[in-house]
Amino acid sequence: MKIKIINRSDNEVPSYATEGAAGMDIRANLTTPITLAPLERKLIPTGLHIELPKGYEAQLRARSSWALKRGLILPNAPATIDSDYRGEIKVIFANISQEPQTIQHGERIAQMVIAQYVNIQWEIVTKLSDSNRGEGGFGSTGIT
């Protein structure tokens, strides 16, 4: 599948690191480094604009190494980019570490996964079909 992209940065376009990778690395497009203090949130630009086909979304996810080693997470992960959005892709980051964290221009900041979805219509009913689980909630399946 081919997807249209405009790259207004000097970084390479998103790419898969390995043949089996689901997510593509996307990079920060910065004129100066951005530092996040502990518990601070900031929006990081990428310089990327995409045109997804109807029925597809782009999901943004934290890079596992950044979450583990630096405490940088996406608080709305997975973030969704809708097929009708044409603006710049920006990534919300939160610093959950105890030290300031600095993001540099060109750093791989997140993973982008392209996923297919369906639109639904609600059917208003007064009763749902029975299931083995029923109304069992958190922990009701015995897995904790």
For 74-116, the pLDDT digits (tens) are 999 999 999 999 999 999 999 999 999 999 999 999 999 999 9
Measure Cα distances from 141 to 3, 19, 128, 129, 130 in Å: 41, 36, 20, 19, 16
What number of residues does the chain have? 144
What's the pTM value of the predicted model, to 2 decimals? 0.87
* pLDDT grade for 6, boundaries at 50, 70 and 90: very high
Contacts 24+ apart (CB under 8 A), 14-17: 14/48, 14/112
CA 22 to chain centre: 12
Percentage of residues in the chain having pLDDT higher than 70: 94
CA distance 120 to 99: 44
Query: For residue 117, which of 52, 62, 65 has the smallest C-alpha distance?
Result: 52
The full set of domains in the chain, from first to last, is 4-116 (2.70.40.10)
